[in-house]
Amino acid sequence: MKKVGIICKTGISEPSEILKGLLPWLRQKGYETYLDIETASTLNIEGSPRSEIPSLVDVIIVLGGDGTMLSVCRLVGDKGIPILGVNIGGLGFLTEVQKDELYDVLENVLTGKCPLEERMMLSACVYRDSECIAEYNAMNDVVVTKGALARIIDLETYINHTYVNTFKADGLIISTPTGSTAYALSAGGPILFPTLNSLVLAPICPHTLTNRPIVLPDDVLIEIVLRSQTEDVFLTLDGQVGFSLKLDDVIEVRKSPFKTKLLTPCGKDYFQILRTKLKWGERYTGKNQ
């Protein structure tokens, strides 16, 4: 790993402050660096378009939160470039590295001493009149959901062409194991170990309370047919990319043919992340206790 790409969360000053020390440190150790244009402009140095960085480098460092990390995972796509996330956002399930441990982790990661995890992604295609009119990849989840003012929607759902149910709900989530701690968790779904070969199908606020989340093998084809006459239903990918749906649109979701490669700090484990991020084991210490 001699060529290092760096992509940062925009709109905040913190990445630029970190880079003032990080860039000289990397160059001193013989690494060639490629910085996204938006961040490079704040440092008055030359940058590269984000879309080109995965084709130029051996590894990508992301300075930001999980949202920035998700966008980079989709950007990398089938190129197989390993990604290391440094948390300068909020919760940080995907951006496992903290700022105060950045240099120690990089020393180990860039010399191949730390493990690399492969995480499955999803592919989604919207069919209208039997033609695929929109195609996307997602790291966390593919979601069909109604707008704020829309009524409950009907989502006719099939697995491997076998009818499952017509969910009457606010929406439906198809989640990867990585995404099981995101929107699907809020919808009552289980936490899946991130390297499992499984998917979660979770209805959002179903009209029938016995409609519960289902864990499925990752080799299934999921088809969702919108059976509601409304202009306020959307397909969203990782909560960041959206597409407006129409009556009788068919959304096909399946495992993507490629995976995201995440570099993980040595000595950390998934259960430690759960304890920290979800505050397992902590007790309420409010005034009324």
Residues designated catalytic? 66
**3-state secondary structure (DSSP) of residue 152:** coil
Q: Who contacts 168 (Cβ-Cβ below 8 Å, separation ≥6)?
A: 152, 153, 154, 206, 207, 208
CA distance 220 to 128: 21
CA distance 6 to 47: 10
For 36-158, where are the alpha helices, taking DSSP H only? 37-42, 53-56, 66-76, 102-109
CB distance 223 to 158 below 8 Å: yes
Q: Who contacts 281 (Cβ-Cβ below 8 Å, separation ≥6)?
A: 275
Written as one string, the DSSP assignment of 232-278 is: -EEEEETTTEEEEE-TT-EEEEEEEEEEEEEE--TT--HHHHHHHHT
CB distance 143 to 235 below 8 Å: yes
Radius of gyration of the chain (CA): 20
Q: Which residue is associated with the tokens 């060639």?
A: 32
